[in-house]
Amino acid sequence: MGKVKTKNKFNDFLLTQGLKSTNQRELILEEFLCAGSHLSTEELYLRLRRKNPRIGYATVHRTLKLFAECGIAEQRHFGDGQARYEASDHDEHHDHLICVACGKIVEFEDPRIEELQVEVAGGHGFTIERHRLELYGCCSDCCQG
Amino acid sequence: MGKVKTKNKFNDFLLTQGLKSTNQRELILEEFLCAGSHLSTEELYLRLRRKNPRIGYATVHRTLKLFAECGIAEQRHFGDGQARYEASDHDEHHDHLICVACGKIVEFEDPRIEELQVEVAGGHGFTIERHRLELYGCCSDCCQG
DNA sequence: CCTCAATTGAAAACCGTTTTCAACTTAAAG
DNA sequence: CTTTAAGTTGAAAACGGTTTTCAATTGAGG
């Protein structure tokens, strides 16, 4: 989803929910979209402060929750104890490769794995709603090259 | 691994590390082994208190960490914000199915998925060290039967 | 403009986890 | 069986990320 489309979606969301469009929300969305994905609240907050020192952590936190609520962002946890947010391409699911050395996060998608998941779950009487697959290892920059 | 073998392993661990065998540690290990797996620290602590009200949360916490360190338990996070521990069958890996309705946790293993994971990771230049696969959905007790 | 509800930021509360510290155990030495 | 040194315990405090509170501010419709 393009930047403009995402911003429109957020504005629509605000309107339909009776929420207000504010300067902070615009700044946060802009920074969220142009900064790399998978930023933590803290990281995004620090980036924003560089440009606008008057912005508060609580506002960043609340705004990220709004993003998630309206479907333009998704919250993730990669085991380092803090929540991270990634821009959501909506209905296009992907999983993650995480380098344990440098922290790099790569997204991937594999329909064959998804298919097997459904099969395995079915075998146990489960209907899958969502899943989480994270592969932790070493990327080529860190461990081979 | 049987109960006795696990207890021996823990005692060996204590010896080789210069740690002491204490009444609390025995109680906690016994309860950990006979209570169902995937208990949180809090849950195990509450169970232990019923039998021995003088036991402290900190001790349960520290002892579970020891279990993990010595390889008889593994810490897991299933997204509800608290750490859970499961008895470890060592080198036999498995993943989890979690019922979003009743919280039931089922373990499974599928070599085909593992194989694909290695393949996909390799395609991105990664060498997998470990992974996490959790399927969240509805079990047959909750959503169908 | 005015008004009122929504929003903001600083600070406090929260919640699971981890550490501190003085009292207490353990195990090995005497 | 002491004694002793080191490890352990539990209550309480500290921690760290998250979430809420609240008084002051801002946005948008009347």
Per-residue tens of pLDDT for chain A, all 145 residues: 889 999 999 999 999 999 999 999 999 999 999 998 899 999 999 999 999 989 999 999 999 999 999 999 999 999 889 999 999 876 778 999 999 988 889 999 999 999 999 999 999 999 999 999 999 999 999 986 6
Handedness of CA B46, B50, B55, B60 (dihedral sign): negative
pLDDT value at position A31?
Answer: 97
- B120 close to A108: Cβ distance less than 8 angstroms: yes
How close is the nearest chain A Cα to the Cα of B139, in Å? 4
- pLDDT score recorded for residue B45: 98
- Does residue B30 carry a pLDDT above 90? yes
Of B112, B127, B143, the CB nearest to A127: B143
Residue A114: closest C-alpha in chain B: B113
Phi and psi angles of residue B5, each rounded to the nearest 5 degrees, phi first: -60, -40
> What is the model's pLDDT at position A99?
93
- Whether residue A131 and residue B131 make contact (CB cut-off 8 A), yes or no, is no
Q: Over 80: is that where the pLDDT of B91 sits?
A: no
What is the residue type of A117?
Q
Nucleotides on chain D within 7 angstroms of protein Cβ: 6-12, 16-21, 26-28
Helix and strand counts by DSSP (H, E) for chain A: 6, 6
| Residue B50 phi, psi dihedral angles, 5° rounding | -60, -40
Binding-site residues on chain A for chain B (CB distance < 8 A): 77, 79, 97, 99-100, 106, 108, 110, 112-113, 116-117, 120-121, 124-140, 143-144
Please report residues of B whose CB lies closer than 8 A to that of A124: 97, 106, 108, 139
Least confident of A83-97, A126-140, B35-49, B62-76: A83-97
Beta carbon of B112 within 7 Å of strand C?
A: no
At residue A83, the pLDDT reads 96
Residues of A in contact with B107 (CB under 8 A): none
- Residue A26: count of CB within 10 angstroms of its CB: 14
Q: What pLDDT score was predicted for residue A2?
A: 87
Which strands sit side by side in the sheet containing B83-87, from one edge to the other?
B39-40, B83-87, B73-77
B25/D8 CA-to-C1' distance in Å: 10
Q: Phi first, then psi: give them for residue B110, nearest 5 degrees.
A: -145, 105
State the Cα torsion B12-B15-B17-B18 to the nearest 10°.
170
CB contact at 8 A, A136 and B129? yes
pTM over 0.85: yes
For chain B, domains (ranges, CATH) are: 3-87 (1.10.10.10), 95-137 (3.30.1490.190)
Question: Residue A145: what pLDDT?
Answer: 60
Question: Are the Cβ atoms of A120 and B135 closer than 8 angstroms?
Answer: yes
Which among B113, B121, B143 is the nearest to A97, CB-wise? B121
- For residue range B118-145, list pLDDT tens digits in order: 999 999 999 999 999 999 999 999 986 5
Does the CB of A37 fall within 7 Å of any strand C atom?
no
